[in-house]
Structure 1
Amino acid sequence: MSEFDSLQKNINSIKNRIENACLKVDRNPNNIQLIPVTKTVETDRILQVVRMGYPAIAENRVQEARRKIKQMGQTAEQLEWHFVGHLQSNKVNKVVRFASMVQSIDRMKIAEKMNRRLNKVGKQMDVLIQVNVSGEESKYGLAPDNTLAFIEECAKLDHLNIKGLMTIGLFSDDWPKVRQGFRELRRLQGKITALQIDHVQMQYLSMGMTNDFEIAIEEGANMIRIGRGIFGERMHPDSYYWPGINEAKSHHQNTRNN
């Protein structure tokens, strides 16, 4: 089987799983946006998936994304780059240059620095607010109880367009608990929507990865982030992308993330 055929088979499998999940809860599969997570994936394989109809891709590390963009040349300008990793202060200026959306905003320091940089270059940026619904220490994101106040402050930054919420599901095979976390994010989305905060839209609920996206869809996700399910297992453990996670959590995360 060729590389293209293998990727197409994986994409078709994910699409079937999306359709089956939507069928269970009477949702339209066309309303679910699939974002391929391309960390560690080389550009030739990424472009094969892009040609299958997925021009929005997600990266976790700024340096890796910039390398790929340089390799792709003008083709990179036609893609929609989502940044989904933990954003460090010294990388904000670089992210602003290439990202179409940052899905991992969870600190006011970062939001304010992004806003200043965006103002300087005359640009707007769509962002999602990352929420840690599982409460795991290995994850970044706001505590659910702190999210509303954060969004109210973040909404004052006129170069950031708040478009919704993002979370990484519980690293567990206890599926009822995984579902509970996704349900919590949906509840939070509804609460924020009802408040009709100026300059805040709850358009996207980004949750669900290779092992748990069906549950996420059943609980309201309309954006899912899939890496392994499309590209296969990675050479690097996920501790490479989230430094500071202890070894046990890193191993468990590597089996479940994206």
Structure 2
Amino acid sequence: MSQSSQNASLGKDAIDPAANLSAIKTEIEDALKEAGRPAESVVITAVSKQHDLERIRPVLNVGHRVFGENRVQEAMSKWPKLREEFSGIELRLIGPLQTNKVKEAVAFFDVIESIDRPKLAAALAKEMEKQSRRPRLLIQVNTGDEAQKAGVSPKDADAFLKECKKLGLDIEGLMCIPPVKDDPAPHFALLEKIAARNGLKKLSMGMSGDYLLAAQLGATHLRIGSAIFGPRPKKP
């Protein structure tokens, strides 16, 4: 049973984020070994959205430093204090980015994974030049062409990458979120194919339900939230 399956049956008080992270690392190492990939080829992005500081600190205390947040405002409300307490934190924006939040996102995040449209790309290029700050960038690909989901269509990905390059954006990789009901393997394979033909090395794919498969199929970054931190708190 994967760590995500075990966490599903635990109550809030039973969650041990640091122990969960350790168990997940062992699972991933085994999966990478089976796939013939080196252990250092994958980085875990601990998805801390909607979790408070007390749930995040145990993971920081054991040395983990890469975290993902979905919303700019939420991240800005809790991470400044944690950045004062812990050095070397890398924050990755993994949720949709609105153009009216570009200024804050460029200033605050180390990586932005969700570039998905020309207007956003142009706004990022302008703001990065203005701030003289260049967070690393990934393009989100909507591998399932789902109408309700953000991301550029696979058929438009190559052209969009060229457009980003013309704007002066240095895109280092791709991100995807496969449809919930689909087998994720073909979506991971499609993302890898698009990345390979465009010379991109970073693949952010795989979440709490499918991170082992993603690790075996070429992911460089795994976005793992509930398997580490437990279920997200219900909104009031």
What secondary structure, in the 3-state scheme, does the structure 2 residue paired with 1:149 have? helix
Note the alpha carbon deviations across 1:109-168, whole angstroms, 9 max, x for none. 11111111111111122100100112222321011110000000101223x321100001
Counterpart CA distance in 1 for 2:160 and 2:91 is 25
- Stretches of 4+ moved more than 6 A in 1? none
Match for residue 80 of structure 1 among 58, 72, 90: 90
Show the counterpart of 1:184: 190
Counterpart CA distance in 2 for 1:54 and 1:157 is 34
Note the alpha carbon deviations across 1:56-77, whole angstroms, 9 max, x for none. 1110011100101343362377
Pairing 1:58-69 to 2, within 5 Å after superposition? 58-69=68-79
Show the counterpart of 2:202: 204
The amino acid that maps onto 1:120 is: K
Point out where structure 2 has 5 or more consecutive residues left out of the alignment.
1-12
Counterpart CA distance in 2 for 1:236 and 1:134 is 28
What secondary structure, in the 3-state scheme, does the structure 2 residue paired with 1:224 have? strand
Counterpart CA distance in 2 for 1:97 and 1:190 is 30
Counterpart CA distance in 2 for 1:122 and 1:63 is 22
Pairing 1:1-258 to 2, within 5 Å after superposition? 6-72=16-82, 74-75=84-85, 78-158=88-168, 160-172=169-181, 174=182, 177-193=183-199, 202-236=200-234
Asked whether the 8 Å contact 1:101–1:127 carries over to 2, the reply is yes
More displaced 10-residue stretch of structure 1: 66-75 or 91-100: 66-75
Q: How many equivalent pairs are there? A: 225
Counterpart CA distance in 1 for 2:106 and 2:145 is 29
Counterpart CA distance in 1 for 2:162 and 2:134 is 18
Note the alpha carbon deviations across 1:164-220, whole angstroms, 9 max, x for none. 000012202x5xx31111111111111112xxxxxxxx1211000010111111211
Q: CA deviation at 1:4?
A: 11
Give the structure, 1 or 2, with the largest relative contact order (CA under 8 Å, sep 6 or more).
2
Computed over aligned residues only, the root mean square deviation of the Cα atoms, in angstroms, reads 2.2
The amino acid that maps onto 1:222 is: T
Percent of aligned pairs with the same residue?
34
Asked whether the 8 Å contact 2:107–2:133 carries over to 1, the reply is no
Give the TM-score of the pair, scaled to structure 1.
0.81
Q: CA deviation at 1:15?
A: 1.0
Q: CA deviation at 1:47?
A: 2.6
What secondary structure, in the 3-state scheme, does the structure 2 residue paired with 1:155 have? helix
Point out where structure 1 has 5 or more consecutive residues left out of the alignment.
194-201, 241-258
Asked whether the 8 Å contact 2:97–2:114 carries over to 1, the reply is yes
